[in-house]
Amino acid sequence: MPESKLMTMVEAVDRFVPDGSEIALGCGLETCIPFSAGHELMRQKKRRLALIGPISDMLFDQLVGAGCADRIRAAWVGNVITGSGYNFRRAVESGAIDVEDHTNLTITMGLRAGAAGVPFMPTLTALGSDLLSTNSQLKEMVCPFTGGPLVAVRAIRPDVAIISVQRAAASGGAHAWGNLGVSREACMASRQVIIVAEEIVPEDTICSDPNRILLPSFRVGAVVHEPWSAHPSPMPGFYNRDHQVFLDYQQASKTPPGFAEWFSRWVVGVASRTEYLDLLGNDRQRQLMITHSAPSVPVDYGY
Amino acid sequence: MTAYTAAELMVTAAARKIRNGEIVFVGMRLPLLGFLLAKCTHAPRAVGVYELGIVRDNPSPRPILTMGDLPNLYQAAWLADTGDAMALLQQGAVDISFIGGAQIDRYGNLNTTVIRSSNGIRTRLPGSGGACDLACLAGRHMIIMAHEKRRFVARVDYVTSPGFGRGSGWRQQRGLPRGGPAGVITTLGCFSFDPQTREMVLDSVHPDVDLETIQAHTGWPVAVSDRLETTPAPTDEELAILRRFDPDGYWTGPRRTENA
């Protein structure tokens, strides 16, 4: 039997995310965002984190509001269906956090360079934009082959990536499906990976479909079994997006006292994801479960 | 004719810019609906690319509020990585895209990053997302935004998504491989860009809007087309489709107050 990496979220966050870590989160952009891990980071009062991700929907705003982050390396920070993230706005406007402004393509290329073990990756994006003057990790360069201008994106190597997936084995083998965003690049670029799984399955289940494995299990440090870890974002095959939570959060986070009230109810008011789900209620969960099941046809890996 | 909202008029105008068979990079908000409307009317062979790593050649089976909603993944043409969607864009496979902004200038340069004050930051905005990539790399892009004087400014505080920079020849000088803004659809009218000067030119005013109103809400002298028209209203068929995909009017409502 391979070594088991199963542990609780409390233990995984405590062990693998020290204060000051650079952490990739929300790598699915809108889907499979590890909200439960984010909330545990807040409960453990992590400080001076650098948050890395393209568009982490409203999770980055929550972490900023909780005082966990002092730096953000991202393409977009806000609330996808409502717009601005108010904690993010307040923190940047008051000078409390620094922002390294990326585009979706530059952050992807930065992570891809980190994943590939090279110092940078070239792109054609951002030429003529002010991102080149405000983000020191983007440099205009001359293509050695054509002589034309390129933008070099410096490699991004997060200390840890936290990825919510559908199922994993105790060894760290994990199946993810749906749109993957930058999950693959983030996993490969990061020094440590925490997998948060809706279901823990036998090793054989994972091995039966190796194309669906996110990264080799030897690169995974921890496996956490936590159903509904991505709520209110959607998890393909399990539950839909809970739009109302995003709308409610927009209202709550408009003022610091409003955010404090949300925070005391939904984050520090619960000790774990299980208590969070109790607070959410069974009826709400039932309404979000997928009702139109659509399994794929199995493929044959035989020899 | 059915009454409609300003947002419904704007989405309809956007949808009509999509040609049949084109590859469309579909952004957040109104463009989500614009793509679906085009698919269901004049452009059934259009293909949608979404930055989350989704390609669709059929409309989602149920209304969606955002591109990550699971019906938008169901029977997709391709579920892949953000890098794959961006690769299609970078290699030149995307014909048209749609973006918005908080500030725009006469050359179509857009700011979604920061509004500055004399002594620093007035308002921090969410940032580029994929907007800069689309403005740099799509075959052409359409801009959709509210028409207000604080948004239509002589000079944007920050160029998040380059348009035509300072005018003719600027994109080539900067090394951008293609593209540029093809038009701007606002709450008051529709603009294109002069092929020589690359300045924004007013092509049509929305019903019940006059030229003075547009000038009053624009921070530079508006260039007006010799053939200025009234923006065509959405047809009953277009409105019925929009309301099927946005049944609660989340993006295109509220429908009770604004009439044609």
**Does the residue B256 lie in any domain?**
no
**Does the residue A218 lie in any domain?**
yes
What secondary structure letter does DSSP report for B139? S
**Does the residue A79 lie in any domain?**
yes
Residues linked to residue A192 through DSSP beta bridges, in sequence order: A160
Q: Do A234 and B54 make contact, defined as CB atoms within 8 angstroms?
A: no
* Residue pairs spanning A and B at CB distance below 8 A: 179
Characterize A165-196 residue by residue with b for buried, 16 or more Cβ atoms within 10 angstroms of its Cβ, and e for exposed.
bbbbbbbbbbbbbbbbbbbbbbbbbbebbbbb
**Does the residue B231 lie in any domain?**
yes
Q: What is the CA radius of gyration of chain A?
A: 19
**Does the residue B255 lie in any domain?**
no
Angle at which helix B6-15 crosses helix B236-245, to 10 degrees, equals 100
Residue of A76, A89, A92, A100 to mutate for B, most B C-beta atoms under 10 A: A76
Report the share of chain A in percent with pLDDT over 70: 100
**Does the residue A226 lie in any domain?**
yes
State the pLDDT confidence band at B255, using cuts at 50, 70 and 90: low
Interface of A with B in 231-270 (CB under 8 A): 233-234, 236, 240-241, 243
Inform me whether the pLDDT recorded for B259 exceeds 80: no
Question: What is the mean predicted confidence (pLDDT) over B203-214?
Answer: 97
Quote the pLDDT of residue B260: 32
Q: Do A130 and B113 make contact, defined as CB atoms within 8 angstroms?
A: yes
**Does the residue A298 lie in any domain?**
no
Q: Do A105 and B130 make contact, defined as CB atoms within 8 angstroms?
A: yes
pLDDT tens digit sequence for A68-95: 999 999 999 999 999 999 999 999 999 9
Inform me whether the pLDDT recorded for B257 exceeds 50: no
Q: Do A108 and B132 make contact, defined as CB atoms within 8 angstroms?
A: no
Domain carrying residue B196: 6-245
pLDDT tens digit sequence for B113-122: 999 998 889 9
Interface of A with B in 167-206 (CB under 8 A): 177-185
Number of separate domains in chain A: 1
Compute the distance between CA of residue B258 and CA of residue B256 in angstroms, rounded to an integer.
6
How far is the CA of A299 from the CAs of A184, A206, A209, A235, in angstroms?
22, 13, 8, 22
Query: What is the pLDDT of chain A when averaged over all its residues?
Result: 97
**Cβ–Cβ < 8 Å for B141, B127:** no
CATH number for position B199: 3.40.1080.10
Number of separate domains in chain B: 1
**Does the residue B75 lie in any domain?**
yes
Question: What is the mean predicted confidence (pLDDT) over A98-127?
Answer: 98
Q: Do B52 and A83 make contact, defined as CB atoms within 8 angstroms?
A: no
Q: Do A108 and B129 make contact, defined as CB atoms within 8 angstroms?
A: no
Residue A28 touches partner B, C-beta closer than 8 Å: yes
Give A192→chain B minimum CA distance, Å. 21
Amino acid identity at A31 = T
What secondary structure letter does DSSP report for B232? P
**Does the residue A300 lie in any domain?**
no
Angle subtended at Cα B53 by Cα B49 and Cα B54, rounded to the nearest 5 degrees: 50
**Does the residue A74 lie in any domain?**
yes
Helix (H) or strand (E) holding B245: helix B236-245
Quote the pLDDT of residue A2: 83
Residue A82 touches partner B, C-beta closer than 8 Å: no
Q: Which residues of B touch A183 (CB under 8 A)?
A: 81
**Cβ–Cβ < 8 Å for A232, A36:** no
Question: What is the mean predicted confidence (pLDDT) over A64-68?
Answer: 98
Q: Which residues of B touch A127 (CB under 8 A)?
A: 136, 162, 174-176
Residue A73 touches partner B, C-beta closer than 8 Å: no
Report the share of chain B in percent with pLDDT over 70: 97
State the pLDDT confidence band at B2, using cuts at 50, 70 and 90: confident
State the pLDDT confidence band at B51, using cuts at 50, 70 and 90: very high
Compute the distance between CA of residue A198 and CA of residue A204 in angstroms, rounded to an integer.
17
Interface of A with B in 108-137 (CB under 8 A): 108-109, 112, 123-131, 134
Q: Which position among B22, B51, B199, B238 bears the catalytic label?
A: B51
**Does the residue A302 lie in any domain?**
no
Question: What is the mean predicted confidence (pLDDT) over A239-258?
Answer: 98
Q: Which residues of B touch A236 (CB under 8 A)?
A: 70, 73
Inform me whether the pLDDT recorded for A17 exceeds 80: yes
Question: What is the mean predicted confidence (pLDDT) over A113-141?
Answer: 98
Quote the pLDDT of residue B258: 39
Report the share of chain B in percent with pLDDT over 90: 93
Selecting from B52, B127, B174 the residue whose C-beta is nearest the C-beta of A101 gives B127
Residues 6 or more apart whose CB falls under 8 angstroms from that of B37 comprise B11, B12, B15, B238, B241, B242, B245
Amino acid identity at A145 = F
Q: How close are the terminal C-alpha atoms of chain B, in Å?
A: 9
Q: Which residues of A touch B79 (CB under 8 A)?
A: 177-180
Q: What is the CA radius of gyration of chain B?
A: 18
B229 flagged as catalytic:
no
Alpha helices in chain A (DSSP H): 9-16, 35-43, 59-65, 86-93, 104-116, 131-134, 183-189, 203-207, 243-252, 256-266, 273-280, 282-288
Domain carrying residue A236: 9-288
**Does the residue A170 lie in any domain?**
yes
Q: How close are the terminal C-alpha atoms of chain A, in Å?
A: 24
Inform me whether the pLDDT recorded for A126 exceeds 90: yes
Q: Are strands B114-117 and B78-79 parallel, antiparallel or unpaired?
A: unpaired
Selecting from B52, B74, B136 the residue whose C-beta is nearest the C-beta of A125 gives B136
CATH number for position A209: 3.40.1080.10
Amino acid identity at A250 = Q
What secondary structure letter does DSSP report for A298? P
Which token pair is B75?
Answer: 């029977």
**Does the residue B146 lie in any domain?**
yes
